[in-house]
Amino acid sequence: MGESARIQLIAAYAAEAAGGSTIVREGLVRKIARNFDEPTGEPDTAHLPPLRQHYIKDVRTLLPALEERLRAEGASEEQIAREMNALRRRLGEEYKERTPKELRHIIFARNIEKYGDPLGPSFQQLRDQGKTYAQIIEGAKRPGGDDLGLGTKK
């Protein structure tokens, strides 16, 4: 079975079995169908471990795609901000599960210290800090991690 056929088959199962948006299911399909030990080939992340490269690539592709779809569907700014924050947290959770234990503990400790939550800021926390919906949307599309040496090359 070719790679394209394999992805389509996985997509069919994922669409039937998985909850959440089409974008989330497509992201899960891509994760199932790819090797996280292989670099993504993106020049500004080549200095990072392959798993981190894939996370950054997903943040850069899945979140803008979700925003575009929600805008096309006429979703409100609040709904877009809520869904993008939720997807970003889900992506973070999925990738943190794959992260080596020692680094995962460092990331969790940093997030708890900085946000009070191991997965980073919640939607409500961002609103309580005075963030606008537009700021939450834009923030969800930035992978972060610069303070841990896990950022992209500028």
pLDDT tens digit string along 117-146?
999 999 999 999 999 999 999 999 999 888
DSSP character at residue 130? T
Domain boundaries, the chain: 61-148
Average pLDDT, rounded, for the chain? 82
**Has this prediction a pTM greater than 0.85?**
no
DSSP character at residue 65? H
CA distance 102 to 53: 18
CA distance 130 to 85: 15
Unique residue bearing structure tokens 């089409």: 22
